[in-house]
C-alpha cells in the first residue's frame, strides 16, 4: 500500500461535522476523535494554552487545532451540527481517511469533512 502522507507528517487532523447520524455511524466518526464539540458556550470557554518541550501533549495539540478551526467550528455549531476533531497517526496510512471521506460522500449534508490538516 502506498501512503499519501508526507514523510515528515506525524498526524492528519480532521474536523467532522454531523447531524441526524445513527449510532453506528457516530461510532465510526468518534473512534479516533480527540475532542467532541456540541455546545457553543463550552467551546467558547475553552482556555487551554499550549505547553512546550517535553510537556507538550494531546491537550496542547487540541488547543492548537481549536485555534486553526475556530471559525469553521462556530459556523457548523450555528447550523446545528455536532463536531469531532479526529487525529489519525501516520501509522494508520490513509485507510481511516478514506472511510471518513466516504461517509461525507454517502451521507451528503448529514456528515461533512470540514477540514483536513497534516501535522
Q: What digits encode the pLDDT tens for the residues 53-102?
A: 566 678 888 888 988 999 999 999 999 999 999 999 888 878 889 999 99
**What's the confidence (pLDDT) of residue 33?**
94
Q: Domain residues of the chain, as ranges?
A: 11-118
**CA–CA distance, 45 with 107 (Å, rounded to integer):** 31
Which residues 6+ apart lie within 8 Å of 115 measured at CB? 14, 15, 68, 69, 72
**CA–CA distance, 87 with 72 (Å, rounded to integer):** 17
**CA–CA distance, 29 with 19 (Å, rounded to integer):** 12
Q: In terms of C-beta density within 10 A (0-12 exposed, 13-18 middle, 19 or more buried), how is residue 22 classed? A: exposed
pTM of the model: 0.83
**CA–CA distance, 56 with 47 (Å, rounded to integer):** 16
- On the CB side of 85, CA atoms within 13 Å amount to 22
CB-CB neighbours of 107 under 10 Å = 16
Amino acid at each position: 500500500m502506498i501512503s499519501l502522507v508526507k514523510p515528515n507528517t506525524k498526524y492528519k487532523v480532521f474536523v467532522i461535522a454531523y447531524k441526524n447520524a445513527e449510532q453506528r455511524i457516530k461510532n465510526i466518526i468518534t473512534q479516533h476523535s480527540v475532542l467532541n464539540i456540541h455546545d457553543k458556550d463550552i467551546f467558547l470557554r475553552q482556555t487551554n494554552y499550549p505547553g512546550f518541550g517535553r510537556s507538550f501533549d494531546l491537550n496542547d495539540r487540541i488547543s492548537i487545532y481549536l485555534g486553526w478551526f475556530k471559525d469553521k467550528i462556530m459556523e457548523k455549531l450555528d447550523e446545528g451540527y455536532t463536531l469531532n476533531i479526529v487525529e489519525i497517526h501516520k501509522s494508520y496510512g490513509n485507510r481511516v481517511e478514506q472511510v471518513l471521506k466516504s461517509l461525507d460522500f454517502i451521507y451528503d449534508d448529514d456528515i461533512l469533512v470540514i477540514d483536513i490538516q497534516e501535522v
